[in-house]
Structure 1
């Protein structure tokens, strides 16, 4: 009996006979010299919005951090366990990435949970509820709007949460200092699962706009 689900083993066979076969030299180079991606992506765990697929990235091109709701907590050097902050620290301080992109997406379950304050926790620990409380003030404001439909509230908070994460990124000294020196750029993006559209945040206005693809 296999120790992995058969569909995973089948996918691995396809990988070895396809992509790895054509890019084996690149993989050997990465193994020998290490990774040096220029871009970090902070994305959601959602299986429908994989950054490597959306940006057609090859091996070693993106340093990807995924968590529920693509959130970045504020800088808190309190001695506790901070996986998102650890990944950010490694990307900025060790890999010296030049770009950090916070990418949200449509129909996000984490954002839906933040808006539905009446939903029961999935477990006694309520880890999702605690995590999504990072954007509680925005969720409360958006939920109170009776002029928007449920879908509009969902999309609004998905995009607002990206701005929250960008603001929290700037609370990390290593990020704010390098951004001030022009050595690190922060970006926001939102992906629509149903249409494949990518919306990019305008740094000057905060609005999300469709990029012109030539």
Structure 2
């Protein structure tokens, strides 16, 4: 079987549209090396693509996507740590200046962790990957009168805060942040409304980004 028609048509549109308009830029990127200033750790969810949300051009952002946009703690145990390896490459080799953890509303991974009845809770990979969120759910109890959707939003945002804390367990991230060579950010995207909210660490508050 060949590529799905939607992909072939999309590629044709890219060639005649964006590539044609930015051909020189693509040539420069192809002949040189990438030098993005921003790294985004985002969810795999097809509805929340950071390049689209931030209207980024080619070469502008180093993007890593995983289920529920999680950052694991620093654990150099010889295991397979794709997100940690990407962080190391972005910080130590590319020299990014900003790391942004980007979550979103109605995250299926978060829902699987919050709802023990989810069929994904005890599977081979997602259940294990999302285990860290259980710690988050324990410190963010469901308040009286709060519906399920709102509670999940609280967990989604708390998970981003948890990932920011985990970023600081990486010694080279902590060192660069202390030297003001690197800054860490948390954002949450409302898919339905197209709104972005940023976490202000000084006041531990989430504020809408004016666009």
Whether these two folds match at TM > 0.5 is: yes
Closer, same or farther: CA 122–74 of 1 in aligned 2, 3 Å: closer
Q: Which runs of 5+ in 2 are unaligned?
A: none
Partner of 1:158: 156
Is the 2:110–2:133 contact (alpha carbons within 8 Å) kept by the matching residues of 1?
no
TM-score using structure 2 length:
0.96
TM-score using structure 1 length:
0.94
Alignment pair present for 1:93 and 2:92: yes
Deviations 1:52-94 (A, max 9, x none): 0000000000000000000000000000000000111100000
Closer, same or farther: CA 56–81 of 1 in aligned 2, 3 Å: same
Closer, same or farther: CA 50–60 of 1 in aligned 2, 3 Å: same
Alignment pair present for 1:139 and 2:137: yes
Give 3-state SS (helix, strand or coil) of 1:140's partner: helix
Structure 1 residue 138: Cα displacement: 1.5
Alignment pair present for 1:128 and 2:126: yes
Partner of 2:113: 114
Give 3-state SS (helix, strand or coil) of 2:65's partner: strand
Deviations 1:136-168 (A, max 9, x none): 112134355444210111100010000000000
Aligned residues: 211
Partner of 1:50: 49
Is the 1:43–1:69 contact (alpha carbons within 8 Å) kept by the matching residues of 2?
yes
Partner of 2:174: 176
Which whole-Å CA distance do the structure 2 matches of 1:141 and 1:179 have between them?
27
Which whole-Å CA distance do the structure 1 matches of 2:57 and 2:196 have between them?
19
The alignment yields a C-alpha RMSD, in angstroms, of 1.4
